[in-house]
Amino acid sequence: MLDISEIKTIEHDVLIVGAGGAGLTAAIEASSQGMSTGIVMKSLLGKAHTVMAEGGMAAALANVDERDHWKIHFRDTMRGGKFLNVWRMAELHAKIAPERVRLLEEWGAVFDRTKKGLINQRNFGGHRYPRLAHVGDRTGLEMIRTLQDHGIHQGIQTYMECTALELLKNENDEVCGLVCMWRETGKFIIFKAKSIVFATGGGGKAWEITSNSWEYTGDGYALAYKAGAELMDLEFTQFHPTGMVWPLSVKGILVTESVRGEGGILLNSEGKRFMFDYIPERFRSETADTKEEASKWLSGDLNARRPPELLTRDVVARAIYEEVKAGRGSKHGGVYLNIASQRSAEDIKRKLPSMYHQFKILAELDITKEPMEVGPTCHYFMGGIRVDADTTMSSIPGLFACGECAAGMHGANRLGGNSLSDLLVFGYLAGKHATEYAKKIAVHSEFDADQVTKIIRSATDILNRETGENPYLLHEKLENNMQKYVGIIRTKDDLESGIDQLEKINKAYKNVRAKGASQFNPGWHEAIGLGNLLITSEAVARAALLREESRGAHTRADFPEEQKNWLNYNIIIKKGEDGKMKLAKVERPVPNPELERIAKSSIDALEKEIVEERKQEGI
Amino acid sequence: MAKRKFQIFRGDSENGVLVNFETEVKEGMVVLDVILEIQAEQANDLAIRWNCKAGKCGSCSVEINGKPKLSCMTRMNEYFSDQTITITPLKAFPVIKDLVTDVSWNYEQNKKIKPVKLAPESKSEKGYVMYQEDVERVQEFRKCIECYLCQNVCHILRDHDKKDKFIGPRYMIRVSSLEMHPLDIEDRIPELKKDYGSGMCNITHCCTDVCPENIKITDNGIIPLKERVVDRFYDPITIIKRKIFGKKKKRLPPF
């Protein structure tokens, strides 16, 4: 029999789950407010997915182009998100991002500099001005190391290689704890906490071709869902336009958007710069329509419009998909991305060192001489746990969410560079409000021992079965299914087939079995993560079936246009009382009129307004 | 495709053996692909750490035919097709299971290092002012992905196990990244000599040779630090100067 009293219990005021940029920022904020703060992570400290972010963090610092302003950043974000973003989140993000980036510098980050010695900023898709603070193409590493090195002196308790299994709630349905498993020993541990912040990232590991690592199994979505929280916008999964396509073993690995930000062009097998044929109406007036204008922009002409390679990710990913489908793809089924013809070898090595290195070693290709082959790869979840914009609290009291696992900030499509800044802004807000929440609670709630027993049993059952499904092969089945039926272009028939298959995989999962003992057993860990991934996948597929339109990253071949009516709805997902997944089309609140005015202004009018404002303020 | 032969260490810090595996190797595969394929098909509980699979996170460090490497950045075509490839865990750290080692000692070293402290007077309304040419030196050290390959080959740690005397190359360049930061005003030279053990390193460049980020750990990081220690503690002229004029301030960029 399982004896709960033998399991170690640790108490914290605020417990953070996930140690990427959002989780570390939240932990730093909570501990600086005097909270006893713990942070649980599946990997070692400093290895979270943030480390792979390359291009930069978007913030209207206006260091490179003085015309930049939070209003323009906000407008870009809303337009990129096809107006489905939570207005208030996009506002908070654009306003707070600059100060958080500067704070990172105070904590030791060493960004690339402008000639005047300020933080340098680069161009990126969908951003009107050079806006991304960066360090070559390893900005995520700089961010995570800075937060890590700052955080270790703050008294934060770190729990490395510790997997979150399930949330615990008290009799008032408030979050009060978390059951976890030490990966090293296979032993269990219970955390009691007054508030919990999820910063668990996304669930891209449900697809075969993805830029995500093994960690991205949708743990936050699944745990929150199982505890009764609402999820939102899950149909919006971003396929990054440029993942590696060759060799097969590296298929999906990210090729940073900075390659295009630094001038890289996309070509099909006929040598045509095809993006000129895919400029959407909404962006036509702000996008170059000739090669000549595009190259003027690259050489720094402020009056030239941006090249079409820097359209938003949803647009570029679909264009590549269409080119390949029409038989104009590259040798290995992608398209060509050429920076060699646009920049000197020295520039490329200086600005994109890790891309140079990555292609040189993994594909034996010199990007200063030859074009890369690239194609879409599942990259990011815009949707996630539904949160309050100001406090980041979910629909369960005491549970907060920030970063990729939270919904709302990016709407139907995220702009590159808005993720790292999202982590800084909403990580901070989550830490702040989880602290305020925890301060109001005098004593820790007691947890229900039966609930803990059940959670632990369902994990150990996987090890104790005599026979059963191989978790790795089952995961592969799931990946193939999502790639085939819930991919970049979706239809009703495909989605229904995908959901049917998911039900079969779910059934097989009930009999999943990990061989071996409980000590550092990746097969067991894989099986536990797979359970979360299945819930996540079902949510994505069902939401994608319900949204009968194409908007941002969600493309329905049977409903090819944006439907005005759908602009007023988000899809909310919740666990029903019968245990089945419930979806609802929930009307969006009326936007704040001032924010709506800003987002819908013409760029010229908005720029004039900012100039006037600055004059009056005497700047 | 022909099957290739592998020997992988299986066990823990007390008991362990090299186990033989055979698996197909397709074009373009790296050693980590092979390990993951064996894990999925033949040994579900084979323990290995990995994350990014693109040389950016530094999780998958192992020893391949005795050489410390990132398994995600080591292509199979570096080896002859009839060669048996032996994969073992990092030698300098205790094995937890199979290819996973206990690297917690490294995290303890980092905590000993005083954090960054920037000169407040160099902060402008638009943030700190520093120039690209002044930060490049520090940016080289900040490329470190904490794969601990340098810690693993450092003979002070690997062969002599003097983990109580020397923080190792990784943390020497962490100190370099702070000491050479153009605006940092903290002083870490006394600790460098006393607690971090800068005198232990005898400049064999082993760490530099294995660095997957090609950081010139010894020449650009450790040697300049050793010189600073010598200047401070062993050079009579600078000692007298400092007694008279006080500690030399770092150069601040002009406004």
Name the closest residue on chain B to residue A136, using Cα atoms. Answer: B139
Select from B9, B14, B23, B51 the residue whose CB has the most chain A CBs within 10 Å, as the one to mutate to test that interface.
B51
Residue A619 above 80 pLDDT? no
Within an 8 Å CB–CB cutoff, is residue A50 touching chain B? no
CB contact under 8 A, A43 and B59: yes
User: Which member of A120, A138, A364 has the closest CB to residue B143?
Assistant: A138
Question: Quick check: B248 pLDDT over 70?
Answer: no
Residues A197-201, mean pLDDT to the nearest whole number = 98
Strand order across the beta sheet in which A569-575 lies: A384-385, A231-232, A569-575, A581-587
Cβ–Cβ of B52/A213 closer than 8 Å?
A: yes
pLDDT score at A451:
94
Strands (E), A246-334: 265-267
Q: Do A248 and B135 touch (CB under 8 A)?
A: no
* Residue among A52, A119, A473 whose CB faces B57 most closely: A52
Interface test with B, best of A113, A139, A144 (most B CBs within 10 A): A113
- Cβ separation of A152 and B110 shorter than 8 Å? yes
Residue A166 has which token pair? 């399930």
Asked if A541 and A498 touch (Cβ cutoff 8 Å), the reply is yes
Across A234-250, average pLDDT: 94
Chain A positions touching B103 (Cβ under 8 A) are 44
Tell me how far CA of residue A40 lies from CA of B48, B163, B184, in angstroms.
Answer: 20, 27, 31
Residues A354 and A138 sit within 8 Å (Cβ to Cβ) = yes
Q: Which chain B residues have a beta carbon less than 8 Å from that of A477?
A: none
Same fold, A240-370 and A450-587: no
Confidence class of residue A291 from pLDDT cuts 50, 70 and 90?
A: very high
Give me the catalytic one of A73, A100, A128, A260: A260
Closest CA to A35 of A607, A590, A440: A440
Q: Show the DSSP H helices in A465-491 as ranges.
A: 471-485
Q: Which residue has the higher pLDDT, A449 or B245?
A: A449
Give mean pLDDT, residues A322-344. Answer: 96
pLDDT given at position B242: 75
Contact yes or no for A238/A232 (Cβ under 8 A): no
- Give pLDDT tens digits for A572-604: 999 999 999 999 999 999 999 999 999 999 999
Give the orientation angle of helix A492-509 with respect to helix A522-546, to 10 degrees.
150
Which residues of A are less than 8 Å from B116 in CB distance? Answer: 107-108, 149
Q: Complex ipTM, two decimals?
A: 0.94
C-beta separation of B29 from A18 below 8 A? no
Q: How far is A518 from chain B (nearest CA, A)?
A: 9
Q: Collapsing DSSP states into helix, strand and coil, what is residue A267?
A: strand
Pick B127's closest partner by Cβ from A119, A363, A471.
Answer: A119
Is the per-residue pLDDT at B250 higher than 60? no
Identity of the amino acid at A393: M
Assign B237 a pLDDT band (cuts: 50, 70, 90): confident
Could A153 and B115 be called an inter-chain contact, meaning their C-beta atoms sit closer than 8 Å? yes
Q: What integer pLDDT is reported at residue A248 of this predicted model?
A: 87
Report A:222-251 residues touching B (Cβ under 8 A).
246-250
Distance CA A375, CA A370 (A): 16
Q: Which of A69, A131, A240, A547 is catalytic?
A: A240
Backbone angles phi, psi at A122, to 5 degrees: -120, 165
Predicted confidence at residue A369, as pLDDT, reads: 97
What pLDDT does B46 receive?
97
Map out the domains of chain B with their CATH numbers: 3-101 (3.10.20.30), 104-245 (1.10.1060.10)
Among B107, B144, B181, beta carbon nearest to A45: B107
User: E strands within chain B?
Assistant: 3-11, 16-24, 61-64, 67-70, 85-88, 95-97, 100-101, 123-124, 127-128
Question: Once rounded to an integer, what is the mean pLDDT over residues B106-122?
Answer: 96
Calculate what percentage of chain A has a pLDDT beyond 90: 97
Nearest CB to A213 within list B53, B127, B145 = B53
Chain A residues inside the 8 Å CB shell of B142: 110, 135, 141-142, 145
CB-closest option in B111, B128, B146 to A105: B128
Distance CA A523, CA B38 (A): 12
Q: How far apart are CA A164 and CA A222, in angstroms?
A: 11
pLDDT at A249: 86
List all residues 6 or more positions away from B183 whose beta carbon is below 8 Å from its beta carbon: B118, B119, B122, B128, B130, B250, B252
Cβ within 8 Å, pair B44-A254: no
Residue of B nearest to A158 (CA): B107
**Which H helix or E strand runs over A223?**
helix A219-226
The answer to whether residue A351 neighbours chain B at the CB level (below 8 Å) is no
User: Chain A residue with minimal CA distance to B100?
Assistant: A520
A145 and chain B in contact, CB less than 8 A: yes
Nearest C-alpha of chain A: how many angstroms from B56? 6
**What pLDDT, in 10s, does the model give residues A370-412?**
999 999 999 999 999 999 999 999 999 999 999 999 999 999 9
Q: Report cis status (omega within 30 of 0) of the bond before A247.
A: yes
CATH class name, domain A240-370: alpha beta
- CB-closest option in A117, A354, A361 to B253: A117
In chain A, residues with a C-beta closer than 8 Å to the C-beta of B178 are 108
Mean pLDDT of all residues belonging to chain B: 94
Which of the residues A478, A520, A525 would you substitute to probe the B interface, choosing the one with the greatest number of B C-beta atoms within 10 Å? A520
Find how far residue A357's CA is from the centre of its chain: 25
The strand pair at B85-88 and B3-11 is best described as parallel
Mean pLDDT of B143-156: 98
- Rounded to 5°, the CA angle A187-B147-A376 comes to 90
- At B251, is the pLDDT very low, low, confident or very high (cuts 50, 70, 90)? low
Interchain CB contact of A463 with B (< 8 Å):
no
Confirm if A424 and A100 have CB atoms less than 8 A apart. Answer: yes
First-to-last C-alpha distance (Å) of chain B: 64
Q: Say how many CB pairs under 8 Å bridge A and B.
A: 172
Instruction: Name the minimum distance, in Å, from the CA of B237 to any CA of chain A.
Output: 33
Cβ contact (<8 Å) for A520 and B47? Answer: yes
**Closest listed residue to residue B78, CA positions, set B35, B36, B29:** B29
Helix axes of B223-233 and B169-179: crossing angle, nearest 10 degrees: 70
* Chain A, window 390-419: residues with a beta carbon less than 8 angstroms from a chain B beta carbon: none
Integer-rounded Cα Rg, in Å, for chain A is 23
Average pLDDT of chain A is 96
Active site residue A240: yes
Q: Which residue of B has its CA nearest to A518?
A: B45
Dihedral of CA B120/B124/B128/B133: which sign?
negative
CA distance A102 to chain B (A): 6
Chain A partners within 8 Å of B146 (Cβ) = 46, 145
- Residue B120, class by beta-carbon neighbours within 10 Å (0-12 exposed, 13-18 middle, 19+ buried)? exposed
Q: What does the DSSP 8-state code read for residue A592?
A: P
Distance CA A472, CA A29 (A): 38
Q: Which of residues 250-289 of A touch B (CB under 8 A)?
A: 250, 253-254
Q: How confident is the model at residue A295 (pLDDT cuts 50, 70, 90)?
A: very high
Asked if A121 contacts A131 with a C-beta cutoff of 8 angstroms, the reply is: yes
pLDDT of residue B33: 96
Percentage of chain B beyond pLDDT 70 is 96
The closest CB to that of B100, out of A105, A470, A520, belongs to: A520
Provide the 3-class DSSP secondary structure of residue B176. Answer: helix
A51 has a chain B CB within 8 A of its CB: yes
- In this complex, do B54 and A215 lie within 8 Å of one another by their Cβ atoms? no
CB-CB under 8 Å, A116 with B129:
yes
Q: Where are the beta strands (DSSP E) in A309-398?
A: 335-338, 372-381, 384-385
pLDDT tens per residue across span A9-56 = 999 999 999 999 999 999 999 999 999 999 999 999 999 999 999 999
Residue A129 to residue B77: CA distance in whole angstroms = 44
Tell me whether A52 touches chain B (CB under 8 Å): yes
Rg (CA), chain B: 22
B chain contacts of residue A361, beta-carbon cutoff 8 Å: 55, 73, 75
Q: Give tens-digit pLDDT for A70-113.
A: 999 999 999 999 999 999 999 999 999 999 999 999 999 999 99
φ, ψ of residue A570 to 5 degrees: the values are -110, 150
Contacts of B41 in chain A (CB under 8 A): 472
A248 vs B28, B107, B142: nearest CB: B28
The verdict on whether A260 is a catalytic residue reads yes
More confident residue, B149 or B255: B149
**pLDDT for the residue A189:** 98
pLDDT tens profile A488-545? 999 999 999 999 999 999 999 999 999 999 999 999 999 999 999 999 999 999 999 9
B240 vs chain A: nearest CA distance in angstroms?
A: 33
Answer left, alpha or beta for residue A46, where phi above 0 means left and psi between -120 and 50 means alpha: left
For the cut 80, the answer to whether the pLDDT of residue B247 exceeds it is no
- Provide the CB-side half-sphere exposure for A109 (13 A, CA): 31
Q: Tell me yes or no: is domain A450-587 CATH 1.20.58.100.
A: yes
pLDDT given for residue B255 in this prediction: 43
C-alpha to C-alpha distance for A139 and A111, rounded to whole angstroms: 8
Q: List the single residue in B with minimal CA-CA distance to A152.
A: B111
For chain A, give every domain's residue range. Answer: 240-370, 450-587
